[in-house]
Copies of this chain bind each other. A is one copy, B any other.
Amino acid sequence: MSDTDRTPMEKFVFFGGKGGVGKTTMASAYGVKSAAAGLDTLVVSTDPAHSTSDVFDQQFGDDPAAIEGRDRLWAMEIDPDEEVEHHLMETKRALGDQVSAAMVNEIDRQIEMAHQTPGAYEAALFDRFVDVMQSADGFDRVVFDTAPTGGTLRLLGLPEFLEGWIDRLTRKRERAIDLYEKAAVGNNEPRRVMDGDPILARLRERKAFFEYAGETLREEAAFFLVVTPDELSLRETRRAVEGLADRGLSVRGLAVNRLTPEPEPHEEGRGARYLRARVDTERDRLRELREGFDQPVVASVETRVEEVKGDLLDDVAAELDVGVGRPA
């Protein structure tokens, strides 16, 4: 193990990037490396294709399970569709408790509607992985094969928004209670109603939840972006770096994946010409990545003909120049 490998790294490590760039492979390889360094490591996959099951040749569910043949390494898979369904039930229950029976149907309709809007999927998934972070006490490190982007990052702005909302609601209530108390001296009922106000309580609970998420992601998490050497991926990576930075989250490095292998010097023909032209183009992209970003390139992984699993996973792990030391 090299010195770089011993560099301390945050407890929560995220591998983001657009679909198909190999986030699960990179997250799994980093998990392998972290476990090999002696840290109890959990790999959390949100990939709807459940590719951790392919990588480790083992089925995983919604709870951490030890990976066979690997010490100190666990994995779990979150099913985004189930999360949306669960989130829907949970929200109905939480609000249903607080309103009259007559309003329940109308509320349910509104909640169902909200869950059918674009973005419900991302919101439910975000809730779930904050849950996982909150309950990961038993692990030294938790690795996610995704990172918040676009719409999800906006959720981190919720605490400030909810703050304003809670303040305004509280002031209105206080004024009402004040008037009420002036009219009914000595009656403490209204004050008690406000303390137990279920709407305010729910807003405060959500605010605290998103505050925890924001703080933990800013202070105890490191983000890596997986990039493929094509223009679209570079552009999205730039956008993702900026999006994360806007929310105070720092990207530590770029892991380049799916590089085209170079043909041998003696090879000639249509195929060799095609490969050389691609390798040339990809070299330009790599240069762009090295020179145009503040983050270092922490891996340059060539496309394998076979799926990355078994021993191949250890090969990729060795190519990842990312520290796995205990959080400082």
Contact = CB atoms under 8 A, between A and B. Distances in A.
Contact of A20 (B120, B121, B232): B232
Nearest to A233: B20
Interface string A145-159: 000001110110100
Contacts of A268: 267
Interface stretch (A63-71, A192-200, A271-279, A309-317): A271-279
Chain A contact residues: helix, strand, loop or mixed: helix
Interface string A225-237: 0000011110110
A119 B236 contact: no
A151 B84 CA distance: 13
A91 to B, nearest CB: 14
A157 B116 contact: yes
Contacts of A272: 263, 267, 269, 271-272
A268 B267 CA distance: 7
Interface magnitude class on chain A: 35 or more
Oligomer copy total: 2
A17 to B, nearest CB: 11
Given A19-B18, A119-B119, A271 B277 contact: no
A170 to B, nearest CB: 15
A305 interface: yes
Contact of A118 (B154, B231, B266): B154
A152 B118 contact: yes
A305 B274 contact: yes
Nearest to A157: B116
Given A49-B232, A118-B122, A264 B274 contact: no
B232 A19 contact: yes
B119 A49 contact: no
Contacts of A157: 116
A25 B303 CA distance: 25
Nearest to A113: B161
Contacts of A266: 269
A8 interface: no
Contacts of A270: 261-264, 267
A117 interface: yes
A133 interface: no
Nearest to A277: B305
Contact of A49 (B18, B122, B235): B235
Contacts of A264: 269-271
A117 B116 contact: no
A123 interface: yes
Contacts of A151: 117-121
24 contacts: A20-B20, A113-B161, A117-B119, A117-B123, A117-B151, A118-B120, A118-B121, A118-B123, A119-B120, A119-B122, A121-B151, A261-B271, A262-B271, A263-B271, A264-B270, A267-B272, A271-B272, A271-B275, A273-B305, A274-B303, A275-B275, A277-B305, A278-B305, A281-B305
The 4 closest A-B pairs by CB, nearest first: A118-B151, A263-B271, A119-B119, A118-B119
